[in-house]
Chain A
Amino acid sequence: MTTPKLQVQNVWKRFPVEKGEALVAVQDLSMTVQPNEFVSLVGPSGCGKSTMLMMAAGLEPITEGEIKVDGGTVFGPGPDRGVVFQTYTLFPWLTVEENVRFALKKSGVEKSKQDELVRDHLRLVGLEDFARAMPNQLSGGMRQRVAIARALVYRPQMLLMDEPFGALDAQTRMLMQELLLNIWQADRTTVLFVTHDVEEAILLSDRIYVMTARPGRIKAEIVVDLPRPRAFMETEGDERFVKLRKQVLSLIHSEVKQAG
Protein backbone atom coordinates (compact mmCIF):
# COMPACT_ATOMS: atom_id res chain seq x y z
CA MET A 1 0.00 0.00 0.00
CA THR A 2 1.28 3.45 -0.86
CA THR A 3 1.84 6.07 1.81
CA PRO A 4 -0.97 8.59 1.76
CA LYS A 5 -0.01 12.08 0.60
CA LEU A 6 -1.74 13.55 3.64
CA GLN A 7 -2.56 11.69 6.79
CA VAL A 8 -4.48 13.22 9.67
CA GLN A 9 -4.35 11.07 12.81
CA ASN A 10 -6.61 11.68 15.81
CA VAL A 11 -6.23 15.43 15.61
CA TRP A 12 -7.77 17.69 18.24
CA LYS A 13 -8.00 21.44 18.25
CA ARG A 14 -8.99 23.29 21.37
CA PHE A 15 -9.12 27.05 21.59
CA PRO A 16 -8.54 28.37 25.09
CA VAL A 17 -11.42 30.46 26.38
CA GLU A 18 -10.95 33.32 28.86
CA LYS A 19 -13.23 31.68 31.40
CA GLY A 20 -14.44 28.12 31.59
CA GLU A 21 -13.65 25.12 29.45
CA ALA A 22 -11.69 25.32 26.21
CA LEU A 23 -13.69 25.40 23.00
CA VAL A 24 -13.28 22.17 21.06
CA ALA A 25 -13.18 23.02 17.36
CA VAL A 26 -11.91 19.71 16.01
CA GLN A 27 -12.38 16.46 17.90
CA ASP A 28 -10.34 13.32 17.32
CA LEU A 29 -10.39 13.70 13.57
CA SER A 30 -8.68 11.24 11.25
CA MET A 31 -8.62 11.32 7.47
CA THR A 32 -6.34 10.62 4.53
CA VAL A 33 -5.74 11.98 1.08
CA GLN A 34 -4.04 9.64 -1.39
CA PRO A 35 -1.54 10.86 -3.99
CA ASN A 36 -3.26 12.43 -7.01
CA GLU A 37 -6.57 12.42 -5.22
CA PHE A 38 -9.00 15.33 -4.99
CA VAL A 39 -10.68 15.25 -1.59
CA SER A 40 -13.21 17.73 -0.22
CA LEU A 41 -14.10 18.53 3.34
CA VAL A 42 -17.67 19.76 3.71
CA GLY A 43 -19.76 20.56 6.73
CA PRO A 44 -21.99 23.15 8.34
CA SER A 45 -20.47 26.58 8.91
CA GLY A 46 -18.35 26.82 12.04
CA CYS A 47 -17.68 23.07 12.08
CA GLY A 48 -13.91 23.49 12.06
CA LYS A 49 -13.23 22.51 8.46
CA SER A 50 -11.14 25.61 7.76
CA THR A 51 -9.28 25.11 11.04
CA MET A 52 -8.55 21.55 9.94
CA LEU A 53 -7.15 22.77 6.64
CA MET A 54 -5.02 25.43 8.34
CA MET A 55 -3.57 22.77 10.63
CA ALA A 56 -2.68 20.68 7.57
CA ALA A 57 -1.05 23.79 6.11
CA GLY A 58 0.96 24.14 9.31
CA LEU A 59 -0.42 27.62 9.89
CA GLU A 60 -2.47 26.65 12.94
CA PRO A 61 -0.94 24.66 15.80
CA ILE A 62 -2.38 21.23 16.54
CA THR A 63 -3.53 20.65 20.12
CA GLU A 64 -3.26 16.88 19.99
CA GLY A 65 -2.63 14.25 17.34
CA GLU A 66 -0.47 14.23 14.25
CA ILE A 67 -0.54 15.32 10.64
CA LYS A 68 1.81 13.71 8.11
CA VAL A 69 2.69 14.63 4.56
CA ASP A 70 4.34 11.78 2.63
CA GLY A 71 4.82 10.02 5.95
CA GLY A 72 6.71 12.92 7.55
CA THR A 73 5.20 14.86 10.45
CA VAL A 74 4.15 18.44 9.73
CA PHE A 75 5.64 21.04 12.08
CA GLY A 76 4.85 24.20 10.19
CA PRO A 77 4.10 25.68 6.81
CA GLY A 78 6.29 24.66 3.89
CA PRO A 79 6.58 24.88 0.13
CA ASP A 80 5.52 21.24 -0.19
CA ARG A 81 1.94 22.45 0.39
CA GLY A 82 0.44 25.28 -1.64
CA VAL A 83 -2.42 27.13 0.03
CA VAL A 84 -5.23 29.14 -1.55
CA PHE A 85 -7.24 31.28 0.87
CA GLN A 86 -10.82 32.47 0.71
CA THR A 87 -9.75 36.10 1.11
CA TYR A 88 -7.77 37.84 -1.60
CA THR A 89 -4.15 37.35 -0.66
CA LEU A 90 -2.39 38.98 -3.59
CA PHE A 91 0.26 41.54 -2.66
CA PRO A 92 -1.39 44.73 -3.86
CA TRP A 93 1.90 46.54 -4.57
CA LEU A 94 3.10 43.87 -7.01
CA THR A 95 1.91 43.21 -10.54
CA VAL A 96 0.21 39.92 -11.37
CA GLU A 97 3.50 38.57 -12.72
CA GLU A 98 5.49 39.74 -9.68
CA ASN A 99 2.92 38.17 -7.38
CA VAL A 100 3.40 34.77 -8.96
CA ARG A 101 7.17 35.21 -9.00
CA PHE A 102 7.17 36.12 -5.30
CA ALA A 103 6.27 32.51 -4.47
CA LEU A 104 9.56 31.39 -6.07
CA LYS A 105 11.67 33.65 -3.83
CA LYS A 106 12.98 30.75 -1.76
CA SER A 107 12.76 28.06 -4.41
CA GLY A 108 16.33 28.36 -5.67
CA VAL A 109 15.05 28.22 -9.23
CA GLU A 110 17.27 30.29 -11.51
CA LYS A 111 15.97 33.54 -12.99
CA SER A 112 15.40 32.44 -16.57
CA LYS A 113 13.58 29.31 -15.45
CA GLN A 114 11.45 31.48 -13.13
CA ASP A 115 10.30 33.60 -16.07
CA GLU A 116 9.22 30.48 -17.86
CA LEU A 117 7.39 29.03 -14.83
CA VAL A 118 5.56 32.29 -14.19
CA ARG A 119 4.51 32.58 -17.83
CA ASP A 120 3.33 28.98 -17.98
CA HIS A 121 1.25 29.28 -14.86
CA LEU A 122 -0.36 32.54 -15.91
CA ARG A 123 -1.29 30.84 -19.16
CA LEU A 124 -2.70 27.93 -17.16
CA VAL A 125 -5.21 30.24 -15.47
CA GLY A 126 -5.81 32.25 -18.65
CA LEU A 127 -4.21 35.49 -17.47
CA GLU A 128 -1.13 35.76 -19.68
CA ASP A 129 -2.44 39.07 -21.03
CA PHE A 130 -2.73 40.51 -17.52
CA ALA A 131 0.87 39.90 -16.45
CA ARG A 132 1.54 43.62 -15.95
CA ALA A 133 -1.80 44.47 -14.33
CA MET A 134 -2.06 45.47 -10.67
CA PRO A 135 -4.37 43.49 -8.37
CA ASN A 136 -6.66 46.49 -7.85
CA GLN A 137 -7.42 46.39 -11.59
CA LEU A 138 -8.64 42.79 -11.44
CA SER A 139 -12.05 41.30 -10.65
CA GLY A 140 -12.44 38.93 -7.70
CA GLY A 141 -12.40 35.87 -9.94
CA MET A 142 -9.21 37.01 -11.66
CA ARG A 143 -7.51 37.62 -8.31
CA GLN A 144 -8.28 34.06 -7.23
CA ARG A 145 -6.94 32.77 -10.54
CA VAL A 146 -3.66 34.55 -9.85
CA ALA A 147 -3.68 33.09 -6.33
CA ILE A 148 -4.08 29.60 -7.81
CA ALA A 149 -1.26 30.19 -10.29
CA ARG A 150 0.90 31.46 -7.44
CA ALA A 151 0.15 28.40 -5.28
CA LEU A 152 1.02 26.05 -8.14
CA VAL A 153 4.10 27.81 -9.51
CA TYR A 154 6.57 26.27 -7.06
CA ARG A 155 5.21 22.79 -7.83
CA PRO A 156 3.99 21.87 -4.34
CA GLN A 157 3.30 18.25 -3.46
CA MET A 158 -0.29 19.13 -2.72
CA LEU A 159 -2.73 22.00 -2.83
CA LEU A 160 -4.81 23.05 0.17
CA MET A 161 -7.77 25.22 -0.75
CA ASP A 162 -9.90 26.99 1.85
CA GLU A 163 -13.23 27.94 0.23
CA PRO A 164 -11.32 29.63 -2.58
CA PHE A 165 -14.47 30.57 -4.48
CA GLY A 166 -16.58 31.43 -1.43
CA ALA A 167 -16.39 35.19 -2.00
CA LEU A 168 -17.28 35.05 -5.69
CA ASP A 169 -20.65 35.50 -7.36
CA ALA A 170 -22.46 32.43 -8.72
CA GLN A 171 -21.47 32.81 -12.38
CA THR A 172 -17.83 33.48 -11.65
CA ARG A 173 -17.81 30.55 -9.25
CA MET A 174 -19.09 28.27 -11.98
CA LEU A 175 -16.31 29.35 -14.35
CA MET A 176 -13.70 28.96 -11.63
CA GLN A 177 -14.88 25.44 -10.83
CA GLU A 178 -14.57 24.54 -14.46
CA LEU A 179 -11.10 26.07 -14.64
CA LEU A 180 -9.95 24.17 -11.57
CA LEU A 181 -11.44 20.97 -12.96
CA ASN A 182 -9.46 21.40 -16.18
CA ILE A 183 -6.24 22.27 -14.39
CA TRP A 184 -6.60 19.32 -12.06
CA GLN A 185 -7.52 16.85 -14.77
CA ALA A 186 -4.38 17.85 -16.66
CA ASP A 187 -1.83 17.20 -13.90
CA ARG A 188 -3.71 15.68 -10.96
CA THR A 189 -1.96 17.50 -8.14
CA THR A 190 -3.22 16.15 -4.82
CA VAL A 191 -5.88 18.52 -3.46
CA LEU A 192 -7.62 18.98 -0.14
CA PHE A 193 -10.51 21.32 -0.73
CA VAL A 194 -12.69 22.93 1.95
CA THR A 195 -16.12 24.19 0.96
CA HIS A 196 -19.67 24.49 2.24
CA ASP A 197 -20.99 24.19 -1.32
CA VAL A 198 -22.07 20.56 -1.73
CA GLU A 199 -22.40 20.72 -5.52
CA GLU A 200 -18.94 22.18 -5.82
CA ALA A 201 -17.55 19.36 -3.70
CA ILE A 202 -19.22 16.65 -5.78
CA LEU A 203 -18.28 18.19 -9.10
CA LEU A 204 -14.59 18.40 -8.21
CA SER A 205 -13.85 15.54 -5.83
CA ASP A 206 -12.96 11.87 -5.86
CA ARG A 207 -13.96 11.61 -2.24
CA ILE A 208 -15.82 13.78 0.24
CA TYR A 209 -15.56 13.88 4.00
CA VAL A 210 -18.67 15.26 5.67
CA MET A 211 -18.05 16.84 9.05
CA THR A 212 -20.37 17.16 12.01
CA ALA A 213 -21.34 20.48 13.58
CA ARG A 214 -18.93 21.71 16.25
CA PRO A 215 -16.98 19.99 17.67
CA GLY A 216 -15.94 18.86 14.20
CA ARG A 217 -15.60 15.13 13.61
CA ILE A 218 -15.92 13.03 10.46
CA LYS A 219 -19.55 12.07 10.07
CA ALA A 220 -19.33 10.25 6.76
CA GLU A 221 -16.99 9.49 3.90
CA ILE A 222 -18.50 9.46 0.43
CA VAL A 223 -16.85 8.20 -2.73
CA VAL A 224 -17.81 10.21 -5.80
CA ASP A 225 -17.90 7.61 -8.55
CA LEU A 226 -18.73 10.00 -11.36
CA PRO A 227 -16.69 9.40 -14.51
CA ARG A 228 -13.83 11.72 -15.45
CA PRO A 229 -13.13 13.89 -17.28
CA ARG A 230 -16.01 15.88 -15.88
CA ALA A 231 -17.47 19.12 -17.14
CA PHE A 232 -19.83 21.47 -15.35
CA MET A 233 -22.99 21.04 -17.41
CA GLU A 234 -22.68 17.33 -18.15
CA THR A 235 -21.73 16.29 -14.63
CA GLU A 236 -24.35 18.35 -12.83
CA GLY A 237 -27.01 16.85 -15.09
CA ASP A 238 -25.95 13.29 -14.35
CA GLU A 239 -28.52 11.46 -12.25
CA ARG A 240 -25.80 10.00 -10.02
CA PHE A 241 -24.78 13.58 -9.28
CA VAL A 242 -28.31 14.41 -8.20
CA LYS A 243 -28.39 11.35 -5.96
CA LEU A 244 -25.06 12.17 -4.36
CA ARG A 245 -26.12 15.73 -3.75
CA LYS A 246 -29.24 14.55 -1.97
CA GLN A 247 -27.19 12.16 0.14
CA VAL A 248 -24.60 14.75 1.20
CA LEU A 249 -27.17 17.48 1.74
CA SER A 250 -29.28 15.30 4.01
CA LEU A 251 -26.18 14.48 6.09
CA ILE A 252 -25.38 18.17 6.52
CA HIS A 253 -29.00 19.08 7.00
CA SER A 254 -29.38 16.78 10.00
CA GLU A 255 -26.21 18.30 11.51
CA VAL A 256 -27.38 21.85 11.04
CA LYS A 257 -30.74 20.98 12.56
CA GLN A 258 -29.21 19.40 15.64
CA ALA A 259 -26.83 22.28 16.16
CA GLY A 260 -29.33 25.02 15.33
Chain B
Amino acid sequence: MANSPIARPKEKIQLLELRREIPRQYYVGAGIGFIAVFVAAWFLLTSFGFVSKIFLPSPAAVWGELMKQIQSGVLWQDAGASLYRIMVGWLLSTLFAVPIGILMGNFHFFEGLFEPFIDLVRYMPAVAFVPLTILWLGVDDSQKFAILFIGTFFQEVLLIMDNVKTVPRDLIQVSYTFGLSKWEILWNVILRAALPGVWDTFRITLGWAWTYLVVAELVAANVGLGYRIMRAQRFLETETIILGILVIGVLGLITDYLFKLSYKKLFPWVIQAR
Protein backbone atom coordinates (compact mmCIF):
# COMPACT_ATOMS: atom_id res chain seq x y z
CA MET B 1 0.00 0.00 0.00
CA ALA B 2 1.19 3.48 -0.88
CA ASN B 3 0.74 5.20 2.46
CA SER B 4 1.39 2.45 4.90
CA PRO B 5 1.66 3.81 8.47
CA ILE B 6 4.85 1.94 9.13
CA ALA B 7 7.68 3.62 7.32
CA ARG B 8 9.69 1.03 5.47
CA PRO B 9 13.23 1.79 4.44
CA LYS B 10 13.32 2.74 0.78
CA GLU B 11 14.08 -0.33 -1.26
CA LYS B 12 17.61 -0.22 -2.53
CA ILE B 13 18.22 -1.20 -6.12
CA GLN B 14 20.30 -4.34 -6.13
CA LEU B 15 22.31 -4.51 -9.33
CA LEU B 16 24.52 -7.45 -8.53
CA GLU B 17 22.29 -10.30 -7.35
CA LEU B 18 22.65 -13.71 -8.92
CA ARG B 19 20.28 -13.94 -11.89
CA ARG B 20 18.10 -11.14 -10.59
CA GLU B 21 16.45 -8.87 -13.15
CA ILE B 22 17.51 -5.23 -12.98
CA PRO B 23 15.56 -2.14 -14.08
CA ARG B 24 15.64 -1.71 -17.84
CA GLN B 25 17.22 1.76 -17.76
CA TYR B 26 20.22 0.35 -15.90
CA TYR B 27 20.52 -2.54 -18.32
CA VAL B 28 20.43 -0.38 -21.45
CA GLY B 29 22.37 2.43 -19.83
CA ALA B 30 25.23 0.11 -18.92
CA GLY B 31 25.56 -1.08 -22.52
CA ILE B 32 25.54 2.41 -23.99
CA GLY B 33 27.79 3.69 -21.23
CA PHE B 34 30.42 1.07 -21.92
CA ILE B 35 30.62 2.03 -25.58
CA ALA B 36 30.72 5.71 -24.60
CA VAL B 37 33.63 5.08 -22.22
CA PHE B 38 35.41 3.16 -24.95
CA VAL B 39 35.00 5.96 -27.48
CA ALA B 40 35.97 8.58 -24.89
CA ALA B 41 39.16 6.67 -24.07
CA TRP B 42 39.91 6.43 -27.77
CA PHE B 43 39.32 10.17 -28.13
CA LEU B 44 41.53 11.07 -25.16
CA LEU B 45 44.37 8.75 -26.17
CA THR B 46 44.53 10.18 -29.68
CA SER B 47 43.78 13.89 -29.16
CA PHE B 48 46.53 14.44 -26.59
CA GLY B 49 49.13 12.67 -28.64
CA PHE B 50 49.65 9.67 -26.36
CA VAL B 51 49.75 7.41 -29.39
CA SER B 52 51.04 8.00 -32.86
CA LYS B 53 48.45 8.50 -35.63
CA ILE B 54 49.93 5.57 -37.49
CA PHE B 55 49.00 3.20 -34.69
CA LEU B 56 45.68 4.73 -33.76
CA PRO B 57 44.00 7.57 -35.65
CA SER B 58 41.53 9.83 -33.90
CA PRO B 59 37.77 9.23 -34.07
CA ALA B 60 37.57 12.40 -36.15
CA ALA B 61 39.99 10.99 -38.73
CA VAL B 62 37.93 7.80 -39.02
CA TRP B 63 34.77 9.89 -39.36
CA GLY B 64 36.47 11.95 -42.10
CA GLU B 65 37.41 8.73 -43.91
CA LEU B 66 33.80 7.56 -43.65
CA MET B 67 32.54 10.80 -45.22
CA LYS B 68 35.15 10.57 -47.96
CA GLN B 69 34.17 7.00 -48.81
CA ILE B 70 30.46 7.83 -48.81
CA GLN B 71 31.01 10.74 -51.17
CA SER B 72 33.21 8.82 -53.55
CA GLY B 73 30.83 5.85 -53.40
CA VAL B 74 33.64 3.45 -52.45
CA LEU B 75 31.83 2.45 -49.27
CA TRP B 76 28.70 1.37 -51.15
CA GLN B 77 30.72 -0.53 -53.73
CA ASP B 78 32.71 -2.35 -51.05
CA ALA B 79 29.71 -3.07 -48.86
CA GLY B 80 27.68 -4.24 -51.85
CA ALA B 81 30.39 -6.59 -53.09
CA SER B 82 30.99 -8.00 -49.62
CA LEU B 83 27.30 -8.43 -48.85
CA TYR B 84 26.84 -10.26 -52.12
CA ARG B 85 29.76 -12.60 -51.41
CA ILE B 86 28.58 -13.28 -47.90
CA MET B 87 25.02 -13.97 -48.93
CA VAL B 88 26.01 -16.35 -51.72
CA GLY B 89 28.68 -18.10 -49.63
CA TRP B 90 26.36 -18.48 -46.67
CA LEU B 91 23.37 -19.57 -48.76
CA LEU B 92 25.53 -22.15 -50.46
CA SER B 93 26.63 -23.46 -47.09
CA THR B 94 23.06 -23.45 -45.79
CA LEU B 95 21.76 -25.20 -48.88
CA PHE B 96 23.96 -28.18 -48.05
CA ALA B 97 24.02 -27.90 -44.26
CA VAL B 98 20.23 -28.05 -43.82
CA PRO B 99 19.45 -31.34 -45.59
CA ILE B 100 22.66 -33.04 -44.44
CA GLY B 101 22.18 -31.83 -40.87
CA ILE B 102 18.59 -33.08 -40.89
CA LEU B 103 19.68 -36.50 -42.12
CA MET B 104 22.44 -36.66 -39.50
CA GLY B 105 20.12 -35.61 -36.69
CA ASN B 106 17.48 -38.19 -37.55
CA PHE B 107 19.33 -41.20 -38.85
CA HIS B 108 22.27 -42.67 -37.01
CA PHE B 109 23.53 -44.06 -40.30
CA PHE B 110 24.09 -40.58 -41.72
CA GLU B 111 25.59 -39.36 -38.48
CA GLY B 112 28.08 -42.23 -38.62
CA LEU B 113 28.71 -41.58 -42.29
CA PHE B 114 29.45 -37.86 -42.15
CA GLU B 115 30.52 -36.93 -38.66
CA PRO B 116 34.09 -38.23 -38.62
CA PHE B 117 34.84 -36.43 -41.89
CA ILE B 118 33.20 -33.18 -40.77
CA ASP B 119 34.99 -33.27 -37.42
CA LEU B 120 38.26 -33.65 -39.27
CA VAL B 121 37.71 -30.79 -41.67
CA ARG B 122 36.20 -28.32 -39.26
CA TYR B 123 39.45 -27.98 -37.36
CA MET B 124 41.32 -27.06 -40.50
CA PRO B 125 41.79 -23.29 -40.74
CA ALA B 126 39.82 -21.74 -43.59
CA VAL B 127 42.70 -19.36 -44.33
CA ALA B 128 44.91 -22.31 -45.20
CA PHE B 129 42.55 -23.14 -48.04
CA VAL B 130 43.14 -19.80 -49.76
CA PRO B 131 46.02 -20.99 -51.97
CA LEU B 132 44.18 -24.20 -52.81
CA THR B 133 40.95 -22.46 -53.72
CA ILE B 134 42.84 -20.09 -56.01
CA LEU B 135 44.47 -23.04 -57.66
CA TRP B 136 41.16 -24.83 -58.11
CA LEU B 137 38.76 -21.98 -58.77
CA GLY B 138 40.84 -19.05 -59.93
CA VAL B 139 40.57 -15.53 -58.62
CA ASP B 140 36.97 -14.56 -59.26
CA ASP B 141 34.07 -14.52 -56.81
CA SER B 142 33.67 -18.28 -56.79
CA GLN B 143 36.93 -18.51 -54.83
CA LYS B 144 35.50 -16.10 -52.22
CA PHE B 145 32.32 -18.17 -52.00
CA ALA B 146 34.43 -21.27 -51.46
CA ILE B 147 36.33 -19.74 -48.53
CA LEU B 148 33.09 -18.55 -46.91
CA PHE B 149 31.62 -22.00 -47.51
CA ILE B 150 34.57 -23.79 -45.92
CA GLY B 151 34.48 -21.44 -42.96
CA THR B 152 30.75 -21.84 -42.38
CA PHE B 153 29.48 -25.18 -43.61
CA PHE B 154 31.29 -27.61 -41.33
CA GLN B 155 30.12 -25.79 -38.21
CA GLU B 156 26.63 -25.11 -39.51
CA VAL B 157 25.88 -28.73 -40.39
CA LEU B 158 26.70 -29.88 -36.85
CA LEU B 159 24.53 -27.15 -35.34
CA ILE B 160 21.60 -28.12 -37.58
CA MET B 161 22.08 -31.74 -36.52
CA ASP B 162 21.84 -30.67 -32.88
CA ASN B 163 18.76 -28.54 -33.57
CA VAL B 164 17.01 -31.58 -34.99
CA LYS B 165 18.12 -33.78 -32.11
CA THR B 166 16.64 -31.50 -29.46
CA VAL B 167 13.10 -32.23 -30.66
CA PRO B 168 11.58 -34.18 -27.72
CA ARG B 169 11.30 -37.90 -28.32
CA ASP B 170 7.80 -38.03 -26.87
CA LEU B 171 6.59 -35.60 -29.55
CA ILE B 172 7.72 -38.14 -32.14
CA GLN B 173 6.28 -41.08 -30.19
CA VAL B 174 2.86 -39.50 -29.80
CA SER B 175 2.77 -38.80 -33.55
CA TYR B 176 3.32 -42.48 -34.25
CA THR B 177 0.23 -43.28 -32.18
CA PHE B 178 -1.84 -41.12 -34.57
CA GLY B 179 -0.81 -43.44 -37.38
CA LEU B 180 1.67 -41.13 -39.11
CA SER B 181 4.52 -42.63 -41.11
CA LYS B 182 8.13 -41.72 -40.28
CA TRP B 183 8.36 -39.40 -43.29
CA GLU B 184 5.17 -37.63 -42.28
CA ILE B 185 6.56 -37.25 -38.77
CA LEU B 186 9.87 -35.98 -40.11
CA TRP B 187 8.14 -33.33 -42.19
CA ASN B 188 5.15 -32.38 -40.00
CA VAL B 189 6.64 -32.72 -36.55
CA ILE B 190 10.43 -32.86 -36.36
CA LEU B 191 11.20 -30.14 -38.89
CA ARG B 192 8.42 -27.93 -37.60
CA ALA B 193 9.62 -28.31 -34.02
CA ALA B 194 13.28 -27.77 -34.96
CA LEU B 195 12.64 -24.64 -37.02
CA PRO B 196 13.19 -22.02 -34.27
CA GLY B 197 16.51 -23.61 -33.38
CA VAL B 198 17.48 -23.78 -37.05
CA TRP B 199 16.60 -20.11 -37.44
CA ASP B 200 18.93 -19.30 -34.56
CA THR B 201 21.65 -21.36 -36.22
CA PHE B 202 21.18 -19.25 -39.35
CA ARG B 203 21.72 -16.13 -37.26
CA ILE B 204 24.87 -17.49 -35.64
CA THR B 205 26.44 -18.90 -38.81
CA LEU B 206 25.77 -15.75 -40.81
CA GLY B 207 27.69 -13.97 -38.07
CA TRP B 208 30.58 -16.37 -38.60
CA ALA B 209 30.45 -15.74 -42.35
CA TRP B 210 31.09 -12.05 -41.62
CA THR B 211 34.18 -12.94 -39.63
CA TYR B 212 35.54 -14.91 -42.61
CA LEU B 213 35.06 -12.00 -44.99
CA VAL B 214 38.58 -10.63 -44.64
CA VAL B 215 40.04 -14.08 -45.20
CA ALA B 216 37.90 -14.50 -48.30
CA GLU B 217 39.00 -11.15 -49.72
CA LEU B 218 42.61 -11.62 -48.67
CA VAL B 219 43.93 -12.32 -52.14
CA ALA B 220 42.92 -11.42 -55.66
CA ALA B 221 40.11 -9.00 -54.92
CA ASN B 222 39.73 -5.42 -56.10
CA VAL B 223 36.60 -4.45 -54.25
CA GLY B 224 35.06 -5.35 -50.89
CA LEU B 225 35.31 -4.36 -47.25
CA GLY B 226 37.93 -7.00 -46.51
CA TYR B 227 39.95 -6.04 -49.56
CA ARG B 228 39.85 -2.35 -48.49
CA ILE B 229 41.31 -3.32 -45.12
CA MET B 230 44.09 -5.44 -46.63
CA ARG B 231 44.99 -2.69 -49.10
CA ALA B 232 45.03 0.00 -46.41
CA GLN B 233 47.49 -2.12 -44.46
CA ARG B 234 49.98 -1.82 -47.27
CA PHE B 235 49.84 1.99 -47.18
CA LEU B 236 49.50 2.27 -43.39
CA GLU B 237 46.13 3.97 -43.75
CA THR B 238 45.09 3.06 -40.26
CA GLU B 239 41.86 5.09 -40.32
CA THR B 240 40.69 3.06 -43.35
CA ILE B 241 41.44 -0.17 -41.50
CA ILE B 242 39.51 0.91 -38.45
CA LEU B 243 36.61 2.17 -40.54
CA GLY B 244 36.49 -1.15 -42.40
CA ILE B 245 36.44 -3.09 -39.16
CA LEU B 246 33.68 -0.89 -37.77
CA VAL B 247 31.56 -1.20 -40.93
CA ILE B 248 31.85 -5.00 -40.86
CA GLY B 249 30.88 -4.94 -37.20
CA VAL B 250 27.84 -2.76 -37.81
CA LEU B 251 26.66 -4.79 -40.83
CA GLY B 252 27.06 -8.00 -38.80
CA LEU B 253 25.09 -6.44 -35.99
CA ILE B 254 22.28 -5.45 -38.36
CA THR B 255 21.93 -8.92 -39.87
CA ASP B 256 21.99 -10.39 -36.37
CA TYR B 257 19.27 -8.02 -35.26
CA LEU B 258 17.10 -8.80 -38.29
CA PHE B 259 17.24 -12.49 -37.46
CA LYS B 260 16.37 -11.86 -33.83
CA LEU B 261 13.46 -9.65 -34.83
CA SER B 262 12.07 -12.13 -37.34
CA TYR B 263 12.50 -14.94 -34.79
CA LYS B 264 10.06 -13.25 -32.44
CA LYS B 265 7.61 -12.66 -35.30
CA LEU B 266 7.89 -16.18 -36.73
CA PHE B 267 7.90 -18.24 -33.54
CA PRO B 268 5.72 -16.62 -30.90
CA TRP B 269 4.75 -20.11 -29.79
CA VAL B 270 8.19 -21.08 -28.49
CA ILE B 271 7.82 -22.17 -24.90
CA GLN B 272 10.39 -20.26 -22.91
CA ALA B 273 12.37 -22.59 -20.72
CA ARG B 274 13.51 -20.70 -17.65
- Residues on A lying within 8 angstroms of B by beta carbon are 54, 57-59, 76-79, 81-83, 85, 87, 89, 91-93, 102-103, 105-107, 134-136, 151, 154
- B68 on the A face (CB < 8 A): no
Q: Which residues of B contact A54 (CB under 8 A)?
A: 173
**A134 surroundings in chain B (CB, below 8 A):** 268-269
Show 13 residue pairs from A and B whose CB-CB distance is below 8 angstroms, ordered by the A residue: A54-B173, A59-B176, A76-B176, A78-B179, A79-B178, A85-B173, A87-B170, A91-B192, A93-B192, A105-B179, A106-B179, A135-B271, A154-B178
Tell me which residues across on chain A come within 8 A of B270, comparing CB atoms.
92, 136
* 0/1 string, B146-186, CB within 8 A of A gives 1: 00000000000000000000001011011011111000100
Is there contact, CB below 8 Å, between A102 and B178? yes
For the complex, count residues of B whose C-beta is within 8 A of A.
21
B204 at the binding interface (Cβ < 8 Å): no
A106 to chain B, nearest CB (A): 4
By beta carbon, the residue of chain B nearest A54 is: B173
Q: How far is the CA of A7 from the CA of B267 in the complex (A)?
A: 44
A136→B272 contact, CB < 8 A: yes
Contact of B178 among A76, A87, A93, A105 (CB under 8 A): A105
Q: Point out the residues of chain B lying under 8 angstroms from A78, CB to CB.
A: 177, 179
Contacts of B177 in A (CB 8 A): 57, 59, 77-79, 81-83, 151
What per-residue 1/0 map shows which CB atoms of B247-274 lie under 8 Å from chain A? 0000000000000000000011111100
Residue numbers in A under 8 Å from B170 (CB-CB): 85, 87, 89
Of the candidates A76, A79, A135, the one whose C-beta lies within 8 Å of that of B269 is A135
Q: From residue A113, how far is it (CB to closest CB) to chain B in Å? A: 17
Interface flag for B193 (CB, 8 Å): yes
Query: Which B residues lie within 8 Å of A154 (CB)?
Result: 178
In the complex, are the beta carbons of B173 and A136 less than 8 A apart?
A: no
**How many pairs of A and B residues are in contact by the CB < 8 Å rule?**
65
Chain B residue numbers with a CB within 8 Å of A77 are 173, 176-177, 179
Residues of A within 8 A of B188 (CB): 105
Tell me which residues across on chain A come within 8 A of B193, comparing CB atoms.
91-93
- Output the residue of B168, B173, B178, B267 with the most chain A CB within 10 A: B178
> Hey, which chain B residues are within 8 Å of A102, CB to CB?
178
CB distance from B4 to the nearest CB of A (A): 32
In angstroms, Cα B171 to Cα A124, docked, is: 23
Q: Determine the chain B residues whose CB is within 8 A of the CB of A59 once the complex forms.
A: 173, 176-177
Q: Which residues of the other chain, A, contact B168 by a CB distance below 8 angstroms?
A: 87, 89
Query: In the docked arrangement, what's the CA distance between A92 and B168, Å?
Result: 12
B218: interface (CB < 8 Å): no
Q: State which of B174, B269, B271 has its C-beta within 8 Å of the C-beta of A89.
A: B174
The reply to whether B269 and A136 form a contact with Cβ atoms under 8 Å apart is yes
Question: Is residue B81 contacting chain A, with contact meaning CB distance below 8 A?
Answer: no
Whether the pair A91, B189 counts as a contact (CB closer than 8 A) is: yes
Report which residue of A93, A103, A154 has the largest number of chain B beta carbons within 10 angstroms of its beta carbon: A93
CB distance from B237 to the nearest CB of A (A): 51
Q: Is B178 touching A103 in the complex (CB atoms < 8 A)?
A: yes
Q: Chain B's nearest CB lies how many Å from the CB of A258?
A: 31
Closest 4 CB pairs of A and B: A106-B179, A77-B176, A89-B174, A136-B271
Chain B residue numbers with a CB within 8 Å of A76 are 176
Nearest-Cβ distance from residue A210 to partner chain B, whole angstroms: 26
- Cα A103 to Cα B178 with chains together (Å): 5
- Contact A91 B171, beta carbon cutoff 8 Å: yes
| Shortest CB distance A219–B (Å) | 28
Find chain B residues with CB under 8 A from A103 CB. 178
Given A78-B179, A91-B189, do A83 and B174 touch, yes or no (CB 8 Å)?
yes
Q: How many angstroms from the CA of A81 to the CA of B171 in the assembled complex? A: 16
Q: Shortest beta-carbon distance, A153 to chain B, in Å?
A: 10
Q: Are B271 and A79 in contact (CB-based, < 8 A)? A: no
Q: How far is the CB of B175 from chain A (nearest CB, A)?
A: 8
> How close is B119's CB to chain A, nearest CB, in angstroms?
22
Kindly report which residue of chain B lies nearest to residue A95, judged by CB atoms. Answer: B269
CA distance A1 to B52 in the complex (A): 100
Minimum CB–CB distance from A98 to chain B (whole Å) comes to 11
Bound: A184/B179 CA distance, A: 24
CB contacts under 8 Å to A, within B187-201, are: 188-189, 192-193
Would you call A105 and B180 a contact (CB within 8 A)? Answer: yes
Specify which chain A residues have a CB less than 8 angstroms from the CB of B269 in the assembled complex.
92-93, 134-136
Q: How far is the CB of A1 from chain B (nearest CB, A)?
A: 29
Determine the distance from Cα of A76 to Cα of B184 in the docked complex, in whole angstroms: 16
Other contacts beyond A59-B173, A78-B179, A106-B179: 9, CB < 8 A:
A57-B177, A77-B173, A85-B174, A93-B269, A103-B178, A105-B179, A105-B180, A134-B269, A136-B271
Q: Could you tell me the distance between the alpha carbons of A77 and B178 in the complex, rounded to whole angstroms? A: 8
User: How long is the Cα–Cα vector from A136 to B177 in the complex, in angstroms?
Assistant: 23
Contact A89 B171 (CB under 8 A): yes
**What's the nearest-Cβ distance from chain A to residue B269, in Å?**
5
Q: In the docked arrangement, what's the CA distance between A57 and B272, Å?
A: 30
